[in-house]
């Protein structure tokens, strides 16, 4: 083949084309000058552009490889670097999942969003979420502008455009398995499902009927399948259950059904993640029943279990190598939260070779926005979380077993 190191100058062709008729005369017949002209142009172009003949494509391939390597290096992000660290044996890149806790947009957040827009609360944290392959959060509000209040103490609802904030933040999936997505009745719930579809946000834990509510959300990431199931052990009444053709929430009270669904998801997916709404509000340690339930889910096939509802961070545990985050606390709540209720963060899961590594990066809710207070705050949070965890250490956020 012919391999060129330079660029052919257009001026050469322009000069030759100008004298095209003269070449025809020299060739002896009309049109015959074309072949002569093309040959001379070709030879001249090779000389002027610094081209050389090589016997094979090795040199070109080497240069192309170098070019691609330079481009890849210049575009490398946190996600790319992590993937290089943990490429699967079968050639798949590691899958990086980010998960966060409870999000709602009431009280002071309504005023802030009205003034600053729905992306404002997430402006400082969006880069850390968006670099993941897939990001999960618990949406604790109905997305609707209609419906009747359910007779309960707190009812939350948000206009559809507030979902723009979640999209800007980088979230791909919301869990609807909680005690607020049906705050404005069936009408409010079905509106929520409709708007999530409209904004292209995946969900699990609620649905138009029983089958839809209990169905796993399955996505393909880096050549492997990841299924996410969501259940709630905190529901105001059995009326909230999705039953038959009735829209509702996926109940987590019926443990065996949940375990059977986890087994089914595991059989058809490379990885299965369970997002569970459970526990007691404001308690920083989970009940024994919660830990037993987590163990049962892992034995049924859950590769990771993520908890929400207590509105505070709880500790971590590795059960047979599978990570459990008992509560990720609040992620975005109004400005009345302070102390432990304002402490939050991003759970990081790296899925590779059939195993899951876990890490946690502390953040904080401050004046209706997610902020990173700095290294001292992070180190203090890691030390605190290690104290309330079970058999793990937190080394700069990396969560490892002490056994």
Domain ranges of the chain: 2-74, 89-401
- What does the alpha-carbon distance between residue 194 and residue 190 come to, in Å, rounded to a whole number? 6
**Assigned token pair, 84:** 């290089």
392-395 and 304-308 beta bridge pairing: unpaired
pLDDT of residue 11: 35
DSSP tag of 149: -
- Segment 356-360 long-range contacts (CB within 8 Å, at least 24 positions apart): 356/271, 356/303, 356/304, 356/321, 356/322, 356/323, 357/86, 357/398, 358/304, 358/316, 358/318, 358/323, 358/325, 358/398, 358/399, 359/397, 359/398, 359/399, 360/316, 360/325, 360/385, 360/394, 360/397, 360/399
pLDDT tens profile 252-307 = 999 999 999 999 999 999 999 999 999 999 999 999 999 999 999 999 999 999 99
Position 319 pLDDT exceeds 60: yes
What is the mean predicted confidence (pLDDT) over 219-237?
98
CATH number of this structure's domain 89-401, picked from the four choices 1.10.3720.10, 3.30.830.10, 3.60.21.10, 3.40.190.10: 3.60.21.10
Radius of gyration of the chain (CA): 29
- List residues bridging with 220 in a β-sheet: 225
Nearest CA to 228 among 326, 97, 73? 97
Q: Is the dihedral of CA 197, 203, 207, 211 positive or negative?
A: positive
Share of the chain above pLDDT 70, in %: 78
Tell me the average pLDDT of the chain.
84
Lowest mean pLDDT among 42-51, 191-200, 312-321, 352-361: 42-51
Range scoring the smallest mean pLDDT among 59-73, 93-107, 184-198, 268-282:
59-73
């Amino acid at each position: 083949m012919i391999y060129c190191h330079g660029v052919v100058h257009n001026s050469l062709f322009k000069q030759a084309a100008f004298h095209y008729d003269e070449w025809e005369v020299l060739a002896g017949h009309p049109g015959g000058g074309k072949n002569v002209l093309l040959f001379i142009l070709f030879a001249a172009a090779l000389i002027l552009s610094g081209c050389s003949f090589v016997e094979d494509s090795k040199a070109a391939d080497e240069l192309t490889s170098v070019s691609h390597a330079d481009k890849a290096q210049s575009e490398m992000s946190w996600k790319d670097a992590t993937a290089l660290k943990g490429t699967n044996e079968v050639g798949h890149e590691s899958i990086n999942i980010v998960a966060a806790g409870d999000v709602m947009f009431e009280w002071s957040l309504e005023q802030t969003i009205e003034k600053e827009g729905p992306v404002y609360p997430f402006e400082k944290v969006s880069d850390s979420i968006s670099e993941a392959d897939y990001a999960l959060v618990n949406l604790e509000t109905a997305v609707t502008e209609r419906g009747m209040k359910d007779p309960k103490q707190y009812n939350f609802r948000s206009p559809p455009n507030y979902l723009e904030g979640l999209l800007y933040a980088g979230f791909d999936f919301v869990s609807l398995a909680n005690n607020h997505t049906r705050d404005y009745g069936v009408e409010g719930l079905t509106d929520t499902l409709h708007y999530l579809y409209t904004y292209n946000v995946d969900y699990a834990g609620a649905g138009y009927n029983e089958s839809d509510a209990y169905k796993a959300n399955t996505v393909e990431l880096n050549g492997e399948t990841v299924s996410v199931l969501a259940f709630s052990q905190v529901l105001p009444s059995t009326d909230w259950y999705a039953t038959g053709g009735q829209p509702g929430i996926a109940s987590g009270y019926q443990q065996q059904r949940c375990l059977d669904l986890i087994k089914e998801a595991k059989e058809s997916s490379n990885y299965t993640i369970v997002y569970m709404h459970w526990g007691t509000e404001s308690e920083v340690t989970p009940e024994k029943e919660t830990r037993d339930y987590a163990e049962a889910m892992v034995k049924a096939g859950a590769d990771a279990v993520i908890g929400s509802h207590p509105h505070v961070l709880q500790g971590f545990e590795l059960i047979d190598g599978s990570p459990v985050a008992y509560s990720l606390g609040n992620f975005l709540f109004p400005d009345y939260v302070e102390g432990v209720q304002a402490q939050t963060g991003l759970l990081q899961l790296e899925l590779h070779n059939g195993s899951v590594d876990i890490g946690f990066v502390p953040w904080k809710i401050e004046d209706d926005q997610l902020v990173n207070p700095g290294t001292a705050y992070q180190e203090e949070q890691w030390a605190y979380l290690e104290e309330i965890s079970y058999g793990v250490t937190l080394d700069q956020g990396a969560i490892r077993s002490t056994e």
